[in-house]
Chains A and B, each alone.
Chain A
Amino acid sequence: MPPLDVFITIAGIDLVRGDDGVFRVLEDNVRTPSGVSYALENRRITAQLMPEVLRTSGVRPIENYPADLLACLTELGTERFANPTVALLTPGPLNSAFFEHVFLSQQMGIELVEGQDLVCKEHKLWMKTVHGLKRVHVLYRRIDDDFLDPVVFRPDSQLGVAGLTAALRAGNAIVANAIGTGIADDKAVYAYTPDMIRYYLGEQPLLPIVETFLLRDPDVRAKILRDLDQYVIKPTGASGGYGVVIGPRATDRQLAEVRVHIERDPRNYIAQIPVKLSVHPTLVEGADSPLLAPRHIDLRPFVLLGAVPRILAGGLTRVALREGSLIVNSSQGGGSKDTWVLGAAC
């Protein structure tokens, strides 16, 4: 078991609000959720552009996120080690989230390491410093499981460090989030999440999840293939909005294509009831000048868990900049907005 029984130190859960006004969980991101630096940078820009509005509206500050994150990572470490050293593992400057890795490591005052900076010896994790090897106790990893340890996972990975898994098993190192949490990112799990909460926690879910159907079930599949244009179809293993087909807006050709994919490999697809995402006034290019127009948004709050949970009093609001589009992912041309939480801390 990981220290404090915490598998997921950092969660970024995508929430959407439909036309019934109810917030629902759209997706869990509990492997290596990203985007928090955008939330922090957006706030910095807002503070520059309209400091007065911000100050007089009672907006809660979010700048303590890096300190909270470091506190959680350190709490995991102090379960086992006297003065734990924390480092952030990045794939390197070519990764699209490298800016965030730099930003967070700088804000937390910890080393930003690449796989080549690390070595495992005697089932312990070390980083190569100018004065020799230095122990690393807690690794905040921003690399997927597959690339983390070439001994156990992909042997061709240059991004990870050989022997890490053995060091974890020996209890000499901790990675956050723990290996295997990516299973919960698999979209097929969403069909079970409410039952998992009820069974394992004995609690009712606070927020409903967008209703999810597994296409590997022949009866479900037959029903959904009959009304394919009524559902959103997503590949279970993909992220970034890739491969998503929104039935009501899809062309006949797209529907025909996705039908072939589903019939060929039904386990790899889920169907969800489309949610008419709420809209937010957004500055867009007009015919003559920029104008405010409604654009669809979702919300990714960030939840940290160490000895205690810490929730960012803000979040990443993602916006689909194309008119009518429901795909907010930045890899699909989405933007982001500063997100305000008002009032005193609860």
Chain B
Amino acid sequence: MLRRIASNLFWLTRYLERAEWRARLVDVNYRLLVENPAEAKDEWWPLLAVTGEWDLFAEHYAAYDEQSILAFFTFDPHNLSSIASCIEYARENCRAARNRISSELWLEINTLHLETKRWTSEQMLSRGVVPFFADLRERFYQISGAMQSTLPRDSGYDFLSLGRWLEAAENVTRLLDTKYHFLLPGPADTGSPLDISQWAALLRSASALEAYRNTYGNSIGVERVVEFMLFDAAFPRAARFCVERLEMALNRIASVCPAELRASAENNAARVPSTYQLGSKLRAGNASAAIAGGLHEYLLAIQADCAAIGDEIFTAYFKYE
């Protein structure tokens, strides 16, 4: 596996996952709005707060209305992190690694890319914000399906996995953090019906509500939601699950190292140590401790770990000597 191709595959899924997550963020924001009291009607700014794009938005727009924020967030060419931009980068990486990608997968990604070129505010609003993003999420399921059913499970797939699960681990912390930006009216409201309904909205946006209920039953509480989204070993959007997938992919990549190259390749745990450290931390951690120490800070620490993992993967596998 060439370093350049491994990097293309990694970034392909990373950008796809990022685009999908952004589509989910719109959904969670919308649902939190709907659950919110009437005075907070046009609160779309958390979308930009959680992605750190607020300043860039303010440079280009005067109004904070739904249409401007959604256009900026979704397809404005000034925003290099917009959903359309993520899809474009994914498609570029896919094209460069085209000989490792099935025609089915290429077709799905390229078609979606061509569609993003035609996106307009009018189209998004006439379809309805929620249906528009629901349609989009469906496209990501199709891409994911093409990936799973047409690609061999070789090192190429493992690098696709690295990009996907690293981005997913990072994004679940950002998703949980969205709640941090939707402040409750007062400290006494923690655990109130409003608080509960916001957590339920968040779970639903991560397609996690049903799985949560299967695990914890009907009652929704902050601690359990955090436990489920960070420390669950079986749910595919939980941080621990994502990081353990990272560990597995890294182990497989190391295990297929050809005999004649084995001397030059170091121990895998030594090449990307942060993955295994984060894995241990999540296996040993629990929600009450994370919340007691400050959830927002705990989430930021995981994001920093993810950044370190990304750097280590780059150095170990992508960087040219």
Binding site for B on A (CB under 8 A): 92-93, 102, 105-106, 111-114, 116-117, 119, 127-134
Contact = CB atoms under 8 A, between A and B. Distances in A.
B78 interface: no
Interface in B156-198: 159
Contacts of B320: 116, 128
A106 to B, nearest CB: 4
B4 A131 contact: no
14 contacts: A93-B96, A93-B98, A105-B99, A128-B2, A128-B4, A129-B1, A129-B2, A129-B261, A130-B316, A130-B317, A131-B257, A132-B265, A133-B261, A134-B261
Nearest to B3: A128
B257 A117 contact: no
B115 interface: no
B264 interface: yes
Nearest to B158: A130
Given A106-B98, A129-B261, A134-B261, 10 more contacts: A93-B95, A111-B5, A128-B320, A128-B321, A129-B2, A130-B1, A130-B155, A130-B318, A131-B262, A133-B264
B311 to A, nearest CB: 16
Contact of A106 (B2, B95, B99, B253): B99
Interface in B289-320: 316-318, 320
Given A116-B4, A116-B320, A132 B99 contact: no
Contacts of B155: 130
A56 B3 CA distance: 47
A317 B11 CA distance: 40
Contact of B2 (A93, A102, A127): A127
B217 interface: no
Nearest to B254: A131
A132 B2 contact: no
A117 B320 CA distance: 8
A294 to B, nearest CB: 35
A54 B257 CA distance: 45
The 3 closest A-B CB pairs, nearest first, are A132-B264, A106-B99, A131-B261
B293 to A, nearest CB: 37
Interface residues of B, number: 24
Interface string B80-112: 000000000000000110110000000000000
Contact of B99 (A92, A112, A127): A112
A133 B258 CA distance: 11
B98 A102 contact: yes
Given A128-B321, A131-B257, A131-B265, A117 B4 contact: yes
A111 B318 CA distance: 16
A132 B261 CA distance: 6
Contacts of B265: 131-132
B2 A111 contact: yes
B3 A129 contact: yes
A130 B6 contact: yes
A129 B318 CA distance: 8
Interface string B241-273: 000000000000100011001101100000000
B96 A113 contact: no
Nearest to A106: B99
B160 to A, nearest CB: 13
B99 A102 contact: yes
Of listed B99, B257, B258, residue having the most chain A CB within 10 A: B99
A132 B321 CA distance: 9
B142 to A, nearest CB: 22
Contact of A130 (B3, B96, B98, B321): B3
Nearest to B7: A130
A118 to B, nearest CB: 10
Contacts of A92: 96
A131 B258 CA distance: 8
B25 to A, nearest CB: 31
Given A130-B253, A131-B257, A114 B99 contact: no
A93 B96 CA distance: 6
